[in-house]
Amino acid sequence: MGGTEESIGALRETIEQSIALEQYEIELGGSVFAWHRPADPERLLEAAAANTLNAPESIDPFWATTWRAAVGLDRFLQRLDLVGKRVLELGCGSGQAGVAAAARGALVTLTDSVLLALQVARLNAWPLRAQIETRVLIWGTTQLDSGPYPIIIGSDLVFDPSLFPVLESSARCHLAPGGTLYLSEPHRHTGDKFATWICDRGWRAIQHNIDLTDHRVPIR
């Protein structure tokens, strides 16, 4: 992912041929980053609603939002020694959790099924590009040749029970023996279902709660 300032400009130009971006600052892994996200996420929702293709994952609109679950995962990651560790992020969206891991010294592979999301994630990860690569990954369909990984992370991925089987399959085939899968979500009922569901398939689940001190439900 190396390049020059001119190539980061070209990347942003490529993205903005599809959707306008807005920029703000975000703190991840103890560092402040210039963060980019779609200026009009509703446009992606409209595109998804109008989609008649057989590959809905190609325009999944939910990546365009910065979710509280990623903030909670970032704060949990500070408990881990990630320096030099290989980390895979599933469903990275704009890259928040993966960039947080890289800021703590990890070597990160960001994955998503949506090419536009990966382009935005790559833009956001630019200051840490020596530690981060981006790859297209469709759960249950494709597999990376760069695995296995000792650590897999993901935020707000268990909102739809119909996706549990392909998420679990993708995690299982990319996780190294003895490795750990860290998932975060905001105490939805689907999160309760997932914890039971995945334990029934031979996984061991341990729950941690992260209080974001925003007077809302903790992230687990």
Residue-wise pLDDT for 82-120, tens only, equals: 999 999 999 999 999 999 999 999 999 999 999 999 999
- Is 29 contained in some domain? yes
- Is 80 contained in some domain? yes
Which domain CATH number covers 12?
3.40.50.150
- Is 179 contained in some domain? yes
- Is 37 contained in some domain? yes
The whole domain housing 117 covers 5-199
By C-alpha distance, which of 39, 65, 42, 80 is closest to 180?
A: 80
- Tens digit of pLDDT for each residue in 10-58? 999 999 998 899 999 999 999 999 999 988 877 766 665 555 434 444 4
- Tens digit of pLDDT for each residue in 114-161? 999 999 999 999 999 999 999 999 999 999 999 899 999 999 999 999
- Split into its structural domains, the chain has a count of 1
- Is 111 contained in some domain? yes
135 in Cβ contact with 146 (< 8 Å): yes
By C-alpha distance, which of 107, 123, 148 is closest to 21?
A: 123
- Is 116 contained in some domain? yes
Give the orientation angle of helix 96-103 with respect to helix 68-77, to 10 degrees. 20
- Is 84 contained in some domain? yes
112 in Cβ contact with 91 (< 8 Å): yes
- Global model pTM greater than 0.75: yes
- Is 213 contained in some domain? no
User: How many angstroms separate the CA atoms of 15 and 12, rounded?
Assistant: 5
| pLDDT of amino acid 60 | 59
